[in-house]
Chain A
Amino acid sequence: DTGVSQDPRHKITKRGQNVTFRCDPISEHNRLYWYRQTLGQGPEFLTYFQNEAQLEKSRLLSDRFSAERPKGSFSTLEIQRTEQGDSAMYLCASSLGGRDTDTQYFGPGTRLTVL
């Protein structure tokens, strides 16, 4: 257990529904990242927060995706009007920051299945 928690661990939804995932980082970590991982692939970067500021977004993050980190603590990732192609593992990671290679600690992920 890295100390990063994600909820729910599994989500099954029907196409067109909205879903929201939550990530609770390690408490003193000021950076928080979201990744998407599909079967047989490595994690792909989606977006990144420094405290409450969303500093970078991948072009993978379509308009249907939105992420927030109010007060620089937990973060939520919402997917609107889900599509079958959104089925994947959504990973959250957090880090202390301050160096180029500061260690990212990953949560266990939320596995999304869109029917």
Chain B
Amino acid sequence: QKEVEQDPGPLSVPEGAIVSLNCTYSNSAFQYFMWYRQYSRKGPELLMYTYSSGNKEDGRFTAQVDKSSKYISLFIRDSQPSDSATYLCAMNRGSYIPTFGRGTSLIVHP
């Protein structure tokens, strides 16, 4: 079993939909949680990070962490075709080296 599990998708939604992306993890030592966006043939780009249970909002994006369930989510409101990308969750133990999920491919169609 991998330390970080993430459904690869693809997840296809219509423009304007609310998107929910999720990861589960097995290591309770993980303290910091991140979401990256990766467009095709590009490197990952950090979207959000959080280190506590609860919600963190940034524009159309909300990151949610539930440490008791070892479950994190990223919500995207009013999704746009430009949001079409692979979304990677990542987490670390307080060192600098994150463990990544395999990524979920999101397709937002007009």
A residues neighboring B (CB under 8 Å):
2, 4, 31, 33, 40-45, 48, 56, 91, 93, 95, 97, 100-109, 111
Contacts and interface: CB of A to CB of B under 8 A. Distances in A.
Contacts, number: 62
Interface in B54-110: 88, 90, 92, 94-103
Contacts of A31: 96
B102 A40 contact: yes
Nearest to B33: A101
Contacts of A41: 102-103
Dominant SS among interface residues on chain B: loop
Given A40-B8, A56-B97, A104 B42 contact: no
A43 B49 contact: no
Interface of B: 4, 6, 8, 31-32, 34, 41-46, 49, 51, 88, 90, 92, 94-103
23 contacts: A2-B43, A31-B96, A40-B8, A40-B102, A40-B103, A41-B103, A42-B4, A42-B6, A42-B90, A42-B103, A43-B100, A45-B98, A48-B96, A91-B43, A95-B96, A97-B96, A100-B92, A100-B96, A104-B46, A104-B98, A108-B41, A109-B41, A109-B42
Nearest to A95: B96
B43 A107 contact: yes
Contact of A101 (B41, B45, B51, B88): B51
A93 B102 contact: no
Contacts of A45: 97-99
A42 B102 contact: yes
A29 to B, nearest CB: 12
